[in-house]
A and B are shown apart, each in its own frame.
Chain A
C-alpha cells in the first residue's frame, strides 16, 4: 500500500512532511503508524473507506454547499489515515493557543470599554470603531466572568519541525467540532488495533466540557443549575448536524428562534408543559440575525428583545455578540501586538506575515507580487473570494488586481505558505497531502483545550485549499500521550 519512494516524491513542491524525514525514515510520532501502513493492502483500505463512508452517510453527517441547488447535502470526505501529533508538540500548541485566546478576550473587553489599546496607539481607532464587525451596542457591557468568546477554533498551519503559524482565529461561531468527535468514533470502530498500539489522548469529553463552560457563565442572578440551550437557524443551515449533535451530547434542548420568547424579564422556551426558562444560549446564528428588534429587522431566525435581555444581564449569549472584531482579517495583523499588550509576553504562536491593501505601500507590493501571494477578502470565509497566486491564471490575477484597486481595504495578502503534508489515502496508494489544524478551545471559569482538533486535508494532490466547500476532507487527529 505505502511505497516509501513514491510517497517521498509525492509532494508537488518542497515542504515539510509530518510522517517522513528527508532520509525516508519515519518521524518519531509516526513510527507505529508507518509500520502499519506498510502492512496494509489497497483492497483492505478500500473496504474500510467504504465502511467509513457508509457510517457517515447513515448518521447524516452532511454539510450544505451554498449555491448548488441539486443534492445540497454532501458528505465531507473522510480520510482514514490519522494525523499524529507528539505530546511535546501539543504542549507547545496548547500554551500558545491559551495565551492567544486569553489575549483576544482581554482585547474584546478593552475595546468594548475604555479602549486602552487604541489610546496607547497600538491599533488604529478606525480599524476598531469603524469596523463592521465591531458592535457599538456592546460598549460598556460586562458579560459574565468577562468572557466574550467562549468557544474558539484556532486555525494553525505548520511549515517545519517547529514552525507553527496561526492562519486565522475564529471567535464568532466556529464549527467543525462534531467532525472531530465523529471522526474519532469512526476510527475507534474501524481500527481498534491501532488504538491499542498508540496512546491517543481522548477527545470525547468535549461535550461535557462545553456544558460545564456554558454553565459557568450563567447570569449572576441565576440560581440552581443553569439551563443551557443551543440556538440553531434550522435544518437548512450547513452546520445543522453539528448543532443537533452538540445539543444531544450535552443533553440540552436544540431550539429555533420561534421556540423562544422574551417576557417578564427572562428568556423562555415553549415546551409541552408551558414555558421554561433559559439561562445560557449557545447561539449558532450570526450577530445580525439574533434579534430583529435590535439588529436586522427582517430576520426570522432570532428572538425580538434578546439583545436587550442580554444587556440587562438576564441571559448569557455564547459567544457574545460583537466578537467578530477579534477575528477580523484586518485586525489579524495586530494580534501579535494584542498578545504583547495584554499579557506582557512575546506571542508563543507566530502570525503569518500579512499585507494590508488599505496601506498604499503594502498595496503596491501586493499588486506587483500577486503571483507569489494569497489574497483574501477581509470579510470572506470558506475559501470563497480568494486568489492563490502561484496557482492562478494571468486572467485571474488581472481580475483580482482590479478588485483590489476598486476596494483596497477589503483585501489582505499573505505569502503562500508551504503547508506541511500528512499521508492520505489516494487513488494510487498513500500520498502526502497538505493539511491544517483547528483545535477547539473553551473559555469559561477557566480555559479548556481538548487534545486534538479538526485536521482538514486538501485531497487533491498539490492543492493548498483545505475548505470542505472546495474539495477538502477531514482526518482524525491523534495527540499522543507521553
Chain B
C-alpha cells in the first residue's frame, strides 16, 4: 500500500534566546516498508546535523539562535508498505537485543503488572506475547483524558485506561518481566477516521526465529500494511519524533498536525494536538 504522510510540528515561543531539537522523523526501510521519498525541512533553524543513533534511527539535530520565535518542522514523503503480519524481522541496528530487557522509569513494573505478566505466560514466546496483547486490549480502556506523556506504565495500568503510549508501555513492561526483549515504536497509522489517530505508537518484541514483531495493544492487533514505523527506543521519551529544549523565554506551545493518506485515493485524515 502506498501511503503519503505530512507531519508538521510547530513551536511557538516568546523570548527564547536559543532552542535545540533532536528529530527522529525519518522512517527506516525494512521488510514491512520501503521509503519512496522523504524529506524533513526545518524553518527558523540552522542547517541540521545528521547521524544514526544506537537504535538505527536517523537523527537530525537542529539549533536556532535567538531570539527564537517560531520553528516549523515538516516531515513528508511517501512510503510503500507490505503486509507482514507485524513481523519486522532482524533490523540490523547496533543495539543489543538484551538491552531491551531493561526497564526504564516509564516502564518500571509494579506488582500488579508483574502479576498480569505472569498470568499471560504461555508455552512459547509468541503465545505469551499474544496473551499480553489480548489482555491489555481487554483490560485497559482507550481514554485520552486519563493520562499524560509523563504517566508511567504502572500508573496507567492501575487506572486501567490510557492512550496508545500507555498501552505500549504496559505491554513492554510485561514482556520484559517475562524476559522477552521489547521496545517502543512511534509511527503513523492509516485509519478510517473515527476515534483512531494518525500519529500512533505501539510495541515490538523479539521472538528468537522471527526477529522483531509489532504489537499494537491499543487496537488489539499486530500492525498491518496500514502502519508505518518511524522511530524506536526503550520508551516513549527515547523514541520521541521531536525532542527539544530551549533557553529562556516565557512560554512555549507545540502544535502537531499529521495527515496520512493512501495515495491515489481520497481517504485521508489529520490530527491536531496541542
- Judge: A and B partners, yes or no: yes
Residues of A within 8 A of B (CB): 113, 115, 118, 125-126, 128-130, 134, 136-141, 261-265, 292-294, 297, 304-305, 308-309, 311-314
Q: Are A263 and B93 in contact (CB under 8 A)?
A: no
Q: Are B61 and A139 in contact (CB under 8 A)?
A: no
Q: Are A262 and B63 in contact (CB under 8 A)?
A: yes
13 new A-B pairs (CB below 8 Å) besides A126-B101, A265-B49, A312-B51? A129-B96, A130-B98, A136-B99, A137-B54, A140-B54, A262-B20, A263-B46, A292-B245, A293-B22, A308-B49, A311-B59, A312-B50, A313-B51
List the B side residues contacting A138 at CB < 8 Å: 54
A128 to B53, CA, bound (A): 19
List the A side residues contacting B51 at CB < 8 Å: 308, 311-313
9 smallest CB-CB distances across A and B, nearest first, come from A140-B94, A312-B51, A129-B98, A139-B54, A265-B49, A139-B94, A308-B61, A304-B245, A263-B63
29 A–B contacts, CB within 8 A, in A order: A113-B94, A118-B96, A118-B98, A125-B98, A129-B98, A129-B99, A129-B101, A129-B102, A130-B98, A137-B54, A138-B54, A139-B54, A139-B96, A261-B63, A262-B20, A262-B61, A262-B63, A263-B65, A265-B49, A293-B20, A305-B20, A308-B22, A308-B61, A309-B49, A311-B51, A312-B49, A312-B50, A312-B61, A313-B51
Q: Is B47 an interface residue (CB 8 A)?
A: yes
B47, B51, B52, B101 interface centre (most CB from chain A within 10 Å): B51
B159-184, CB < 8 A from A: none
List the A side residues contacting B65 at CB < 8 Å: 263
A304 to B245, CA, bound (A): 7
Q: Are A264 and B95 in contact (CB under 8 A)?
A: no
B92-135, CB < 8 A from A: 93-96, 98-99, 101-102
Q: Is B137 an interface residue (CB 8 A)?
A: no
List the A side residues contacting B18 at CB < 8 Å: 261, 263
Q: Is B234 an interface residue (CB 8 A)?
A: yes
Q: Are A140 and B95 in contact (CB under 8 A)?
A: yes
User: What range describes how many residues of B lie at the interface?
Assistant: 20 to 34
Q: Are B234 and A264 in contact (CB under 8 A)?
A: no
Q: Which of B46, B52, B94 contacts A264 (CB 8 A)?
A: B46
List the A side residues contacting B47 at CB < 8 Å: 264-265
A434 to B246, CA, bound (A): 52
Q: Are B101 and A136 in contact (CB under 8 A)?
A: no
List the B side residues contacting A312 at CB < 8 Å: 49-51, 61
A128, A140, A262, A294 interface centre (most CB from chain B within 10 Å): A140
Q: Is B243 an interface residue (CB 8 A)?
A: yes
Q: Are B101 and A130 in contact (CB under 8 A)?
A: yes
How far, in Å, is B252 (CB) from chain A's closest CB? Answer: 14
List the A side residues contacting B244 at CB < 8 Å: 293
Q: Which of A118, A134, A304, A314 contacts B49 (CB 8 A)?
A: A314
A118 to B52, CA, bound (A): 24
Q: Which of B59, B94, B95, B234 contacts A308 (CB 8 A)?
A: B59
List the B side residues contacting A137 at CB < 8 Å: 53-54
Interface string of B50-72 (1 = CB under 8 A from A): 11111000010101010000000
A300 to B50, CA, bound (A): 25
List the B side residues contacting A125 at CB < 8 Å: 98
B207-239, CB < 8 A from A: 234
A140 to B54, CA, bound (A): 6
Q: Which of B50, B63, B95 contacts A305 (CB 8 A)?
A: B63
How far, in Å, is B23 (CB) from chain A's closest CB? Answer: 10
A297 to B245, CA, bound (A): 9
Interface string of B22-58 (1 = CB under 8 A from A): 1000000000000000000000001101111110000
List the A side residues contacting B63 at CB < 8 Å: 261-264, 305
Q: Are B98 and A141 in contact (CB under 8 A)?
A: no
A128 to B96, CA, bound (A): 11
Interface string of B83-97 (1 = CB under 8 A from A): 000000000011110
A115 to B234, CA, bound (A): 19
A360 to B243, CA, bound (A): 43
List the A side residues contacting B53 at CB < 8 Å: 137, 311
B47, B53, B93 interface centre (most CB from chain A within 10 Å): B53
How far, in Å, is B138 (CB) from chain A's closest CB? Answer: 31
List the A side residues contacting B102 at CB < 8 Å: 129-130, 136
Q: Are B234 and A136 in contact (CB under 8 A)?
A: yes
A292 to B52, CA, bound (A): 19
A104 to B147, CA, bound (A): 44
How far, in Å, is B206 (CB) from chain A's closest CB? Answer: 13
How far, in Å, is A314 (CB) from chain B's closest CB? Answer: 7
With A262-B20, A312-B61 already in contact, the answer to whether A139 and B99 are too (CB < 8 A) is yes
How far, in Å, is B211 (CB) from chain A's closest CB? Answer: 17
With A129-B101, A263-B46, A292-B245 already in contact, the answer to whether A304 and B20 are too (CB < 8 A) is yes
How far, in Å, is B236 (CB) from chain A's closest CB? Answer: 14
How far, in Å, is B59 (CB) from chain A's closest CB? Answer: 6
Interface string of B9-23 (1 = CB under 8 A from A): 000000000101010
List the A side residues contacting B95 at CB < 8 Å: 136, 139-140
Closest to A132 in B: B102
A304 to B243, CA, bound (A): 11
How far, in Å, is A109 (CB) from chain B's closest CB? Answer: 12
A86 to B243, CA, bound (A): 56
List the B side residues contacting A264 at CB < 8 Å: 46-47, 63
Closest to B49 in A: A265
Q: Which of A115, A136, A261, A265 contacts B54 (CB 8 A)?
A: A136
List the B side residues contacting A263 at CB < 8 Å: 18, 46, 63, 65
A136 to B20, CA, bound (A): 22
Closest to A137 in B: B54
